[in-house]
Chain A
Amino acid sequence: MKIHSSNTRKLALFNILVALCLAMQLTPRPPNVEFTSFFTFTVGVIFGVLYGSFFGCTIMFVNGFLSPYGFAGLIMPFQMVGMAIPGILGGVYRRLMPEQINSARFCTETAIVGAIIALIYDLVTNVGVVFYYVLSGTNIALAILTTIVCGVFFSIVHIFSNTAVFGILTLPSIKTLNNLVGGEKNG
């Protein structure tokens, strides 16, 4: 697949995606079922590593203050780093994408990437939670144990939901966005 680009459309689309993603991120939803990593990954694929990681960081920064679950506090930097990773992976994936893609295979690949992204994000944010516990005076071993025990089910939910979201939505989204970005050049 060939990725088109156009600065005007690119910028407009980027801003629209930021607004859309923020609206979805701030809307109350089941815990750990999220679309932000999918959007970040897609932005990474369409716009590249830099935009992708910036997109993820921005969303999580705003989310840290306005999230329906409350102020993120000390976890926010970890969330920003964790969400920059899908953007980076999107940019890397874009470089490795074949010219002609098989839909079923692409969906399977992106589903696996979605699961990996969820896992990495959870690991990074769990480090933040452990850090927070340790700063609060908890023993480090107990902090790690508590974080694993408390987070394991949320992590499983996250992995499954991301697998589904990435597997189903990435291909149509990338095709549509690519057409939008490349429209000026093609049209």
Chain B
Amino acid sequence: MVEKRTLIFLTLATLVWAISISNLAAYFYLQNTTYTKQIGENQQSLNKTASNYDELMSKYNILLSEYSVLYGSYSFPGANFTLLMGSLGRLIDNLKGNYSSLLTNQEDLNETYFMLKEDYQLVYPEGNVTGENFGGLLNEYYDLFNLLAIRELSLLLSETVTLTVNVCIDYGNGTIDWHNETRMPAGSSLFQLTQKIVEINYTYYPSMKPGHVLVDSINDKKAYTVGYSEGWSWIWYYWDGDEQDWNSGPVGCDAWMLKNGGICKWKFEHWSWP
């Protein structure tokens, strides 16, 4: 006959075992449920991305075909550029119609579109449109069209991909602010990131390429010049992992697309010329 004490300890041991195993089972069940849900959501998101991608590409192909027809007419010897201006005008309006939300939400693109429209309005009333003028407008249109297509694709990607970047703001007086692990949607530019983390004032230069934005002030620290030959400006750098050094930004901050894990720096620094 098993004595009472043994039974008590056996019961206690069973209790510990049962609770531990139940906890473990609950844990695995919860994990399994969570992962199944996540996989389902990811699949749904991928399907949505694929379908949106198809839509974007169809739109791109149609606009590209229209551009191609116009470019063919422009290249054709003896073309009447004044007559072609109407087609170009429709193409420009079509561009706005197809990328309206992007043009509304992204200031720099909107400014570029506005500049194109303005240039068009300047040339069109002249009556006698030259090949040079028309070619210039066509190039301007094509640049903007490609930029819009890239931005829209990036925006599509940003629905599923988020980037994590680190940014440093060096005020040039010993104050350095790090904004680590800042999350941005894929396809964001350094300009958009900077707008998100600090307060900036900027100037848009239509003739500057690539990138049209020059930052004038960050958190009220304003750039200034002393005469024409020297001054203090906000210059941006990116960290080169291979060289283990900061490299100065090769393009305007609105043209620099962020990459995951990238490190950028804004530095308020002195320059002089020559």
Bound CA–CA A145/B31 (angstroms)? 11
A174 within 8 A of B: no
| Interface mask (A98-130 → B, CB under 8 Å = 1, otherwise 0) | 000000000011001101100100000000000
Distance to closest chain B CB from A96 (angstroms)? 8
Most buried by A among B12, B16, B19, B30: B16
A155 contacts B23, C-beta separation under 8 Å: yes
Contact of A145 with B19 in the complex, beta carbons under 8 Å = no
1/0 contact string of A159-175 vs chain B (CB within 8 Å)? 10000000000000000
- Taking a contact as CB atoms under 8 Å apart, the answer to whether B27 and A148 are in contact is yes
Instruction: Assess whether B9 is interfacial by the CB under 8 Å rule.
Output: yes
Interface residues on A, range: 10 to 19
- Given A145-B30, A149-B30, A149-B31, check contact A112 B13 (CB 8 Å): yes
Chain A residues closer than 8 Å to B31, beta-carbon distance: 149
- The reply to whether B16 and A155 contact each other, CB–CB distance below 8 Å, is no
A to B contact number (C-beta, < 8 Å): 37
Q: Give CA–CA (A135, B13) in the complex, Å.
A: 35
What is the CA–CA distance of A109 and B13 in the complex, to the nearest angstrom?
Answer: 9
With CB as the reference atom, state the residue of chain B lying closest to A152.
B27
A148 to B19, CA, bound (A): 12
CB–CB B13/A115 < 8 A: yes
Taking CB atoms and an 8 Å cut-off, the chain B residues in 1-33 that contact chain A are 5, 9, 12-13, 15-16, 19-20, 23-24, 26-27, 30-31
Q: Chain A nearest CB: distance from B21 CB in Å? A: 9
Contact of B20 with A159 in the complex, beta carbons under 8 Å: yes
Give the contact-size bracket for chain B. Answer: 10 to 19
Mostly, the B contact residues are helix
Does B20 contact A112, Cβ atoms closer than 8 Å? no
Any B CB within 8 A of the CB of A156: yes
Residues in chain A near residue B16, CB distance under 8 A = 112, 115-116, 119, 159
Min CB distance B32 to A, Å, is 12
Q: Is the CB of B24 within 8 A of A119?
A: no
Asked whether, in the complex, the Cβ of B9 is within 8 Å of the Cβ of A152, the reply is: no
- CB of A116 within 8 A of CB of B30, answer no
Which residues on B sit within 8 Å (CB–CB) of A115? 12-13, 16
Listed by A's residue number, 26 A-B pairs whose Cβ atoms lie within 8 Å are: A109-B9, A112-B9, A112-B12, A112-B13, A113-B12, A115-B12, A115-B13, A115-B16, A116-B12, A116-B16, A119-B16, A119-B19, A148-B26, A149-B27, A149-B30, A149-B31, A152-B23, A152-B24, A152-B26, A153-B27, A155-B20, A155-B23, A156-B20, A156-B23, A159-B16, A159-B20
Given contacts A112-B9, A152-B23, list 16 more A-B pairs with CB under 8 A. A108-B9, A112-B12, A115-B12, A116-B12, A116-B15, A116-B16, A119-B19, A119-B20, A148-B26, A148-B30, A149-B27, A149-B31, A152-B27, A153-B27, A155-B23, A156-B23
